[in-house]
Structure 1
Amino acid sequence: MICLVTCGVPLFMLELALGQYMNIGSVESWSRLVPAFKGIGVASFTVTFQMNIYYIIILAWAAYYLVMSFTSTLPWSHCNNEWNTERCISRLNVTLNDSIVTANISKVHRVVDAVEEFWEKKILHISGGVDEPGKLVWELAVCLLVVWILVYCCVCRGIRVSGKIVYFTALFPYVIITILLIRGITLDGASDGIYFYLKPDFSRLTDPQVWVDGGTQIFFSYVLATGVIITLGSYNKYENNFYRDSFIIAIINSSTSFYGGFAVFSVLGFMAKEQNVSVEEVVKSGPGLVFIAYPKAITEMPLSPLWAILFFLMILMVGFDSQFVAVEALLAPIIDAYPKYLYKKRNRMILTAVYCTFSFLVGLSMITEGGMYVFQLFDYYCASGLVLLWICFFEAVVVAWCFGQERFQEAAELMIGRRFPLWFFICWKYIIPVLTSAIFLFSIVSFKPLTYNKTYIYPRWAQGVGFCMALVSMICIPIIFVYKMMTTRGSLRKNVNQFQEACAILSKAYGETAKECADAYFCYGQALLDLARMENGVLGNALQKRYG
């Protein structure tokens, strides 16, 4: 909650306001706000590019599970499949013949649940390590192709079409969550899971890792530092009340997570009761929760195929929502860079097809027998907490200190007729830089090498590749800053002339007050942007309203 109030909501509002004010994609927004920090936009673009490639793999897994759920008996509920080994154990096997299970346990060192074997041997076909890529899992390749085709069909015609589709994909999961919740709370042991979910453990507040996890989770939950919010904000009308929208979205986002937690933990409580263990022992995070813990709990319910279908359909709907906006956020800066060609519908469709095809081909590396190891490299490094913290730090510093509090207040007043409360600037100027820096430094100090399933340790060369993938986005900010500073020195006269020309035209159109407003801007790029808006009547109306 502390990270939400001090970082999540203020940064969300900052990005939404910036996108609406600039009326353009994330890269150009930062370039025109403060040209020297165009690297923030490029870094966000890079993170989104990497994230789109590996995030959709989760949808491919969910699609495969969904297809396999259309059966009378779920294949991960028993050990009578071709991929099962002698170490396999399931609740069905225990129920049918306890003596056989006891004998099997005595013969092998470690038993493996049927759900885990289905996940690793049927879905992943997992190999021995990242240096053993193995063959392509063709079932997953087909699923990946299908989900990319669906994403293309929804995104190729632009935000107007994908925006209508999101009405269904965003609202339908609430129906499924409600159905799963009603079923979950009727299960034996559900109260134990809900109690575990709601009971706070205040002793964990002294653990720095809790603050690291909480802070990074907020950035993930609100899709900060990826350019997504700026891009979506750019589609708003110039006078849209982004201040109100920020609070509405924050409340809905947090409430949905809280509401969904009841559906999940009620089932986990039932699962713990069935296995006669504590809830804490069955709780997993990430893919382990979605593809192991929850599917296992489903097998212990009556009409389990029905609940499996509903659950994985919900995962697909939620995932498609995220993928739609992330692809749109990546395409928008490219289209903004070449508006003469890419604003045409046909050319946009071609660009989208080329991008989706390229991403699909790169994604094939994650659905080989060693693909899970590649997926974890992307997930652990590319869109990691370190990268997002780095970008969020510069976002707050650039807006609050470089562009300036007064100028950003004036931008808000031009759009919605009111200024930001003082609290948000306290967060942007002081709290967010300090908090993100502290979490960033602690993450580096407490860094642990990447492992799979807590047993396989990635080799050093793989760790090096992961660090390089993280640095690709992080170094964009300092490199472009240095480049802008070096190139500006040689063409300073030209920059000043362009700035003076913009101020002169603004002054001629709206008088000396407008010229003073333009002179106060941090960079000539902002004056040029306002000049462009003045010419199409957007900013002209706002300035005329403000300065008479």
Structure 2
Amino acid sequence: MKKSREQWGTKVGFILAAIGSAVGLGNIWRFPYVVYSNGGGAFLIPYFCAIFTAGIPLLILEYGMGHKFRGSTPLAIARANKKWEWLGWWPIISSSIILCYYSMILSWAIKYLTLSFTKGWGADPNKYFYKDFLKLSSSPFEFGGIVVPILIGIILVWAVNWMICYKGIKGGIEKLSKILLPTLLVIMIIIVIRGVTLEGASVGLNKLFTPDWTKVKDPKVWIAAYGQVFFSLSIATGIMMTYASYLPKKTDINNSAFMTAFANCGFEFLSAIGVFAILGFMANSQGVSIDKVVSGGIGLAFIAFPKVFSVMGAWGNVLAVLFFSCLVFAGLTSAVSLVEAISSSIIDKTGWERKKVVSGMSLVGVCISTVFATRAGLYLLDIMDNFINNYGIVVVGLLEAILVGWIIKAKTIRNHTNSISYYKIGKWWEVIIKYITPTILTYMLGKSIITEISKPYGGYKLSSLLAYGWSIILIGIIGAIIISKKPWKQEIKCEEEEVG
């Protein structure tokens, strides 16, 4: 007898898990810098356009596909059109690689959380991070041995991933999301309240939100907006389709997509206010302009903020603990969603038990992640993340829009989501999926390739970019095609008729 598919205990549990997947490290360290460097307040125009013309439409697409065809991303796509099954496996392979380097960043965050009680990064956070902690080698090919504290953190992260996903949807992921998401929100609100009351906070906030209207005409700013929305909503990673497949048959899909997008958007703005208020304080205390203390990405989290906390006295310890707790919690909810997307696909394909798949996957994951605990780990992360985000995920999103818009037919998914949703989406959604989203993503992809050819990413040698960048894209495509040729353990058509 065929086992029935697991389900979320409540709709709130699903929404919190989806938001937890979307709210990751990028919301905290990427979004504030993207807003600042792309026109401040003026950036909100392309940002909201991106949410309505790509973010929400693609979320509805992925929720609708997962719910209608009742399967993980590869199974849902295979049920919709068997020839396109490979498109479901490509994001799963990409997510497997993301998960391995994500566990390294989470390992850093855990280490810094322990350091924050005593400000253990010392007087020079820059030197501490690169030399004392990462022991960074001089090139991507110089691995130089394992950095033990990072490896210990990676093992801990995988142990948590295993423990949560081993317990399943209702008993593991839903419970975790119901605890961590509200906690994360409370912590960020405390950081924001303290941040905006610091002397000089207004300097940072004015710089963040003062609009530079000339930037709205710059195509690069629009690409940045679409990139931010795309990456921060966990679209085209295999997660959202899988999560939606665990929903009961009567679920308001359309409203869920809007709620997920706006909750993620709200958290990004909250993070930006907290981050720039604290950077404003730093600029004010050093007597320099805000431009001198602003940084994005890893530099913000592990260098700029520790510098700020070091000059804040006792409040610095409190904010440091809260900030790194935020990073750990946001990272864990995203990591668990990646584990679930990958393990669910393997379970659907092979028919193996969840507990065996999650356990085996966690052991293999620790082994592969060990390469990121070497002294070259940061280089590997930097190159792989750039290529997966700029090429892998964008191409998957583009192909998903083409598949649903032109082959499965957008009307099929729209009719399905409308039949179970209070809020009905109009034909505008079909127009966006068929024309607008593919056009925008093709343009983004073209610009990325032109930039890559004219100026190789990060100043790395071509050999490094081929080894850790382009090869990862190739592995994703070839691996996806090979796996899609393997037979499914179950009859893939049986549920489509039942649901469709």
TM-score, structure 2 as length reference: 0.84
Aligned to 1:175: 186
Aligned mate of 1:323, from 313, 323, 335: 335
Select the residue among 465, 471, 475 that pairs with 1:472.
Answer: 475
Map Cα deviations across residues 280-335 of structure 1 (whole Å, 9 max, x no partner).
23221111111111111111212122221111111101110101111101100111
Shift of 1:525: 7.2
Match of 2:456 among 449, 462, 473: 449
Q: Which residue of 2 aligns with 1:159?
A: 169
- Distance in structure 2 (CA, Å) of the matches to 1:361 and 1:412: 41
How many residues align? The count is 444
Distance 2:471 2:102 in 1: 19
Alignment partner of 1:460 out of 459, 462, 465: 462
Aligned counterpart for 2:249 among listed residues 234, 238, 241 = 238
SS at match of 1:76: coil
* Structure-to-structure mapping, 1:81-480, within 5 angstroms: 114-160=124-170, 161-303=172-314, 304-339=316-351, 341-342=352-353, 348-381=354-387, 383-416=388-421, 420-447=425-452, 448-451=455-458, 457-465=459-467, 466-474=469-477
Runs of 4+ deviating beyond 4 Å: 474-477
Higher relative contact order (CA 8 A, sep 6+): 2
Q: Please provide the CA RMSD for this pair.
A: 2.2
* Bigger-Rg structure (1/2): 1
Give distance in 2, aligned partners of 1:350 and 1:187.
51
CA distance in 1, matches of 2:482, 2:223: 28
Residue equivalent to 1:42 = 89
Question: Structure 1 regions of 5+ residues with no counterpart?
Answer: 79-113, 343-347, 452-456, 488-523, 534-538, 544-548
Once the two structures are TM-superposed, the CA of residue 169 in structure 1 deviates from its matched residue by: 1.2
State how far apart, in whole Å, the 2-side matches of 1:419 and 1:131 are.
53
Distance in 2 (alpha carbons) for counterparts of 1:296 and 1:7: 37
Amino acid at match of 2:182: L
Tell me, which stretches of 5 or more residues in structure 2 are unaligned? 1-47
CA distance in 2: counterparts of 1:39 and 1:202, whole angstroms: 43
Mapping for residues 69-80 of structure 1, pairs under 5 Å: 69-71=116-118, 74-78=119-123
> SS of 1:182's equivalent?
helix
Aligned amino acid, residue 367 of structure 2: L
Structure 1 partner of 2:109: 62
Q: Distance in 2 between matches of 1:409 and 1:4?
A: 18
CA distance in 1, matches of 2:474, 2:398: 16
Partner residue in 1 for 2:496: 530
Which amino acid is the alignment partner of residue 326 of structure 1?
Answer: L
> CA 1:62/1:406 → structure 2, altered by over 3 Å: closer, same or farther?
closer
Q: Distance in 2 between matches of 1:167 and 1:525?
A: 33
For the residue of structure 1 that corresponds to 2:313, the secondary structure is coil
Matched-pair contact (CA < 8 Å) for 1:40–1:476: no
SS of equivalent residue, structure 2 residue 234: coil
Q: For 2:431 and 2:133, locate their aligned partners in 1 and report how far apart those are by CA, in whole Å.
A: 49
Flag the 1:251–1:461 CA change in 2: closer, same or farther, 3 A.
same
Conserved? CA contact 2:91–2:392, under 8 Å: no
Compute the displacement of 1:352 (Å). 1.1
DSSP-derived class of the 1:238 partner: coil
Whole-Å Cα distance in 1 between the matches of residues 408 and 156 of structure 2? Answer: 44
Structure 1 residues 245 and 417, CA gap change in structure 2 (3 angstroms): closer
Three-state SS of the structure 2 residue aligned to 1:70 is coil
Q: Pick closer, same or farther for the CA change 1:364–1:194 going to 2, 3 Å.
A: same
Instruction: Please identify, of 189-198 and 275-284, the stretch whose mean Cα deviation from structure 2 is larger.
Output: 275-284
Per-residue deviation, 1:475: 5.6
1:6 lines up with 2:6 in the alignment: no
Evaluate the alpha carbon distance shift between residue 409 and residue 180 of structure 1 in structure 2; reply closer, same or farther with a 3 A threshold: closer
Q: Structure 1 residue 480: deviation in Å?
A: 7.7
Q: Deviations over 1:380-423 (max 9, x none)?
A: 22x22222211111111111111113333332344448753111
Cα separation, 2, equivalents of 1:396 and 1:129 = 39
